[in-house]
Structure 1
């Protein structure tokens, strides 16, 4: 199977950026890296665009080639991909308080049903809070295949573009209303209204997934359009980088304000979509091999699930040691994060993926994304 190392590189960047963002738990890298750290939440949006592109490409390719979708195969693959490592980490959060980044967590049934991101309501119960993005992904996996099959019966490029525009514009309007109705009145209180209403819920965070699905539709049904776009790889990458820089500036120090929340998320998704489009095939970025990126991409899910717990265990073990050597202290945390993530990947995630390939039906990825790790 031919790999596309460019997608691995993007996934590696996404997980590294998210973990850097969460390094606030251990003091981070210091003031000189403040903007880079604080913008690390955008790594999740990159994950969303990648998921929309990878899963969308698989589903659309099946509809194009066979006119149908094997729902059993699709959901079997998703279950084997998501559940084993997730349940292990959830178990650690439930039985090992030292693993938690906060003393309390929301009820376990919210994690088991992937409804945590819709029901979060207590700023003191924030352990395993990064599971919110996994909830968004699970909702996408649950709904998108059925929606794609239904839409395929009447969809045209124009109607598809209009549907995407309606979702994005509707999300902007919804966030504007939520900010005015729920967040603004709570400013200064202890209620986690921003996370509860504007950042965690699936209905407020669809921009990245929609961008990824739109790229997938173009790659599968209009490959000539995608080829022409990729033929201008240099200009596309420069434009995406400039837009991403503008988004970082927009949110820097203003992350909770009205306009960044309303218009910022679609702009971040658009910037990330540019990178994913270029890394998805036919460009030098798609062929770019960065040492270690393939492994980070493959283990990104395990790293994402376990990195906060690894931070906490390292912090407890170090105590006050290395406080006078911040870089050594940070590297010690990174080493433990990689070790814990590798253990989860090799002992839990990877064996189940191999068992899946031997025992379950498969839904193969189309050539445009063949070999992209962590999305199949």
Structure 2
């Protein structure tokens, strides 16, 4: 979810053009996708996933799944394009750290400070995991142990923890795996994720939080995104034949989701993420290839939310909870006109706080991170097995 919109690069000549500095311009439609998914999550959290909420607006999970696929695509594509740079690892981690960590750490520290000041009757701080668990991205372990999401204002941080675990593992996995083997490796990741969810949700192997909050159990979303990046960077993909299918597959995936929900039981929990991943990556590739839908995603409104998505995502629940607590002395809900009024007031405040954090924290540090330039020197290629036997 935290993959930088400034890392949106693509090698398709009809979708991008090189800048004078040799960088490749990002595809603005992907900013719009990020913005739309941010709206899905925020609307769901403010108006659906609260007491008295509107169940028809409970589509935040779609945004979360798309964020994972988009991260897999963008980060995977960046790694594939820059993997041969001599300074790849230092530049990748410097940029990624400055892009994601400071805003996250500040949010966690501020929220913990608010927990000390606010009335526990409405701050939703219980159960409160140790501060160090959030600072080390190990809160999913406590979520599994307690079978809860923890302090509600920090509930979305499990997705960020999963992203950081992905950032730690994906670069080395992609760099040191021969490209021809990557599809098979990613297929194994997909199979592992589906198998783990089957064990959890169908056979009770572990509690449900294992199937929701751990990287291995959601890895298919990220792996399918990387598979999309492999396709986007391959000169051998028959795009003319595939492009019509890319536009229809998301609709087919939506139909599959409806069928899985209709089946009930564990069908959706087990196979829903993979079905979503296939639909999402097809949609992203269609946009990358210049499908007509890209024009809608290029709207200034959606791109605004896309460019401010990370900090809005970080801060919207603390803002909502704080406003309900200070004004109504109660937790967020929509059971009365007063609660509706406070939530409607909170919505623009959430955006303003997120934009402020973006301008003051995220953007300056992202620019600093981009001062780490990719080296023109290339890492020495590893000798092949055949050559080593010669």
Shorter-chain TM band: 0.7 to 0.9
Task: Report the CA distance between 1:252 and its aligned residue.
Answer: 7.2
Aligned to 2:68: 48
Does the alignment pair 1:107 with 2:125?
Answer: no
Task: Report the CA distance between 1:225 and its aligned residue.
Answer: 3.3
How many correspondences in the alignment?
339
Aligned to 2:286: 278
Question: 1:59, 1:69 within 8 Å by CA — same for their partners in 2?
Answer: no
Does the alignment pair 1:194 with 2:213?
Answer: no
Does the alignment pair 1:259 with 2:267?
Answer: yes
RMSD (Å) for aligned C-alpha atoms: 2.8
List alignment gaps of at least 5 residues for structure 2. 1-18, 20-24, 377-390
Task: Report the CA distance between 1:228 and its aligned residue.
Answer: 4.3
Cα shift readout 1:269-295 (whole Å, capped 9, x = no counterpart): 111111111122432333442231111
1:64-103 superposed matches below 5 A:
66=84, 70-97=88-115, 98=118, 100-103=123-126
Cα shift readout 1:41-66 (whole Å, capped 9, x = no counterpart): 12111001111111111111123xx4
**2:150 pairs with one of 125, 134, 142:** 125
Task: Report the CA distance between 1:347 and its aligned residue.
Answer: 1.6
Over alpha carbons, which structure has the higher Rg? Answer: 2
Does the alignment pair 1:241 with 2:251?
Answer: yes
List alignment gaps of at least 5 residues for structure 1. 185-192, 365-376
Provide the rounded CA distance (Å) in 2 between the counterparts of 1:213 and 1:94. 35
CA distance 1:248–1:88, change in 2 (3 Å): farther
Provide the rounded CA distance (Å) in 2 between the counterparts of 1:240 and 1:206. 20
TM-score (norm 1): 0.81
Aligned to 1:314: 323
Question: 2:324, 2:342 within 8 Å by CA — same for their partners in 1?
Answer: no
1:1-376 superposed matches below 5 A:
2-23=25-46, 24=48, 26-27=50-51, 30=54, 34-37=55-58, 39-63=59-83, 66=84, 70-97=88-115, 98=118, 100-120=123-143, 121-122=145-146, 123=148, 125-127=150-152, 128-152=154-178, 155-156=179-180, 159-180=181-202, 182=204, 193-195=207-209, 197-222=210-235, 224-226=237-239, 228-230=241-243, 232=244, 235-248=245-258, 250-251=260-261, 254=264, 257-288=265-296, 289-319=298-328, 323-324=336-337, 328-358=341-371, 360-362=372-374
CA distance 1:102–1:6, change in 2 (3 Å): same
Question: 2:86, 2:375 within 8 Å by CA — same for their partners in 1?
Answer: no
Question: 1:26, 1:315 within 8 Å by CA — same for their partners in 2?
Answer: no
Tell me, what secondary structure is at the counterpart of 1:82? helix
Cα shift readout 1:319-342 (whole Å, capped 9, x = no counterpart): 289933776554322111111111
Question: 1:45, 1:269 within 8 Å by CA — same for their partners in 2?
Answer: yes
Task: Report the CA distance between 1:67 and its aligned residue.
Answer: 6.5
Provide the rounded CA distance (Å) in 2 between the counterparts of 1:88 and 1:363. 31
Provide the rounded CA distance (Å) in 2 between the counterparts of 1:224 and 1:176. 32
Provide the rounded CA distance (Å) in 1 between the counterparts of 2:51 and 2:236. 46
Question: 1:117, 1:202 within 8 Å by CA — same for their partners in 2?
Answer: no
> Whose relative contact order is higher, 1 or 2, with alpha carbons under 8 Å and at least 6 apart?
1
Task: Report the CA distance between 1:204 and its aligned residue.
Answer: 0.3
Aligned to 2:10: none
CA distance 1:135–1:335, change in 2 (3 Å): same
Task: Report the CA distance between 1:101 and its aligned residue.
Answer: 4.1
CA distance 1:211–1:68, change in 2 (3 Å): farther
Provide the rounded CA distance (Å) in 2 between the counterparts of 1:80 and 1:108. 21
CA distance 1:329–1:126, change in 2 (3 Å): closer
